[in-house]
Amino acid sequence: MAVRHVLVVNAGSSSLKFMLFDMANEQMLAKGQVERIGIGNSLFSYTNAAFSEKQSPCEAPDHTAAVQLVCNALIDPAKGACLKSLDEIDAVGHRVVHGGERFSGSVIVTPEVVDALTAMIPLAPLHNPAGLQGIAGCEKVLANAKHVAVFDTAFHQTMPEESYLYGLPKELHEKLGVRKYGFHGTSHKFVTQRAAEVLGKPLDEVNLVTCHLGNGSSITAVKGGKCWDTSMGMTPLAGVMMGTRSGDIDPAVVLYLLKNGYTAEQVDALMNKQGGVLALGGTGSSDMRDLCSAIVDGSEAAKTAMARLVHSYAMYVGGYVALLGHVDAIILTGGIGENSWETREAFLKAISGLGITFDAELNRKVRGVEATLSLADSKIPVIVLPTNEELMIARETFALLA
């Protein structure tokens, strides 16, 4: 089957983001999102080369209706008709958060795959149901297309036992799947492939520390082009501090709070939604732009939050450099890694003990573009590489069907 047009779908519980790619030249033809699915006052945003509309009211009672809206827009002459007919969509690449231990790569969606993902819902109760709704909606509206599931966890399935096992009785792993899985795999894979190109090295010889820093953040040790260890865990809560997530804490804090009258739901909210930069920064926001403005205004809380944030990054980078021995490059990506020069500056200062030096002037200018920030005498090169998870999903989909 010749695949040309690939629709990439990222379904959340009440949102559906999409991008349409022409894989003949990897050009993005259209993108947008449906928001507030199933909760009323739904909104549709859509952009292509000839047309743009932002958050216009629409009817999206469920994910199937949202997919129908997207498809109608793609062929609508009043909206620049990217496609003549929906039959031109050869394949849909679905972002799925959790593939558990079963999926170490992308797969064509079959009833068995849907059953396996349904069985995995307890591992990702917030994310996988939405992924399944997105798949079901697309299968209804685009029945002639092939559907491919691309997992956030798949890239990390190459981790050895010493990386993924927790120091807990083995039956918890065997019976309940309690282990490290890791997330943001599509992004870590994308920048790993790009780093190999930029460094001019074969993929299977490249050692990296890839830092995906955004609202959610994770840092990965890449050995010979494959994931060796990563900072997130069984869930995306573990690892470095994040916008609203605590990252690593003493697990006994959870027990302490439960024994002191907090409910499981409250502890969950404290760590996932009320933690991190939001908790420490004193700005009422989890956004790094607000934190950086507060630092300029002299806020001590904001300074402490930044220091704590980059301290947590540095701990992982230091550990992974120690494990890898030789590191070809430290890669910075994600909304913060690509754009927040203040955070990059604080981070690179925090790892200066590794012999890292960088061009502070250049760092201030780099926003959303590839750039080598390190100086020639830096022990490890530091490179900003913008990620593109949607293109990676389109590539995975294309490669699997080709």
Taking the least distance from each CB to ligand ADP, the nearer of 340 and 363 is: 340
- Of 22, 76, 115, 152, the catalytic one is 152
Taking the least distance from each CB to ligand ADP, the nearer of 372 and 387 is: 387
Which of these ranges, 26-34, 148-156, 330-338, 347-355, lies near ligand ADP under the rule CB under 6 A? 330-338
Which of these ranges, 101-109, 212-220, 232-240, 247-255, lies near ligand ADP under the rule CB under 6 A? 212-220
- Residue 215 binds ligand ADP, judged by CB under 6 A: yes
- Distance of closest approach, residue 142 Cβ to ligand ADP, in angstroms: 26
Q: 249-278 burial by CB neighbour count: b if 16+ within 10 A, else e?
A: eeeeebeebeeeeeeeeebeebbbeebbbb
Taking the least distance from each CB to ligand ADP, the nearer of 43 and 86 is: 43
Find the binder of ligand ADP among 289, 308, 311, 349 (CB under 6 A). 289
Please give the sequence-ordered ranges of beta strands (E in DSSP) within 97-186, or none if there are none: 107-108, 146-151
CA distances from 111 to 115, 117, 122, 155, 235 (A): 6, 10, 19, 23, 26
392, 238, 98, 150 alpha-carbon torsion, rounded to 10°: 0
Residue number closest to ligand ADP, CB atom: 335
- Residue 247 binds ligand ADP, judged by CB under 6 A: no
> Residue 152 catalytic?
yes
Taking the least distance from each CB to ligand ADP, the nearer of 214 and 381 is: 214
Contact in structure between 156 and 229 (CB atoms under 8 Å): no
How far from the centroid of its chain's Cα atoms is residue 14's Cα?
18
- Distance of closest approach, residue 217 Cβ to ligand ADP, in angstroms: 7
Length of the chain: 402
- Residue 288 binds ligand ADP, judged by CB under 6 A: yes
- Distance of closest approach, residue 216 Cβ to ligand ADP, in angstroms: 4
Taking the least distance from each CB to ligand ADP, the nearer of 158 and 215 is: 215
Element (H, E) at 301: helix 300-324
Q: Which residue has the tokens 């909104």?
A: 43
Q: Which of residues 61-100 bind ligand ADP (CB under 6 A)?
A: none
- Distance of closest approach, residue 212 Cβ to ligand ADP, in angstroms: 8
The tokens of 223 are what? 């050995």
3-state secondary structure of 152: coil
Binding mask of the shown chain, residues 374 to 393, with x at each position contacting ligand ADP by CB under 6 A: --------------------
- Residue 336 binds ligand ADP, judged by CB under 6 A: yes
- Distance of closest approach, residue 301 Cβ to ligand ADP, in angstroms: 17
- Residue 340 binds ligand ADP, judged by CB under 6 A: yes
Rounded CA-CA distance 323/228 in Å is: 9
Contact in structure between 343 and 309 (CB atoms under 8 Å): yes
Burial bucket for residue 106 (CB in 10 Å: 0-12, 13-18, 19+): buried
- Distance of closest approach, residue 214 Cβ to ligand ADP, in angstroms: 2
- Distance of closest approach, residue 29 Cβ to ligand ADP, in angstroms: 22
The tokens of 296 are what? 């300029």
- Residue 276 binds ligand ADP, judged by CB under 6 A: no
Q: What is the rounded radius of gyration, in angstroms, for the C-alpha atoms of the chain? A: 21
- Residue 311 binds ligand ADP, judged by CB under 6 A: no
Residue-wise DSSP of 255-277:
HHHHHTT--HHHHHHHHHTS-HH
Taking the least distance from each CB to ligand ADP, the nearer of 316 and 398 is: 316
Catalytic residues: 152
Residues forming contacts to ligand ADP in the complex (CB under 6 A) are 214-216, 243, 287-289, 334-336, 339-340, 367
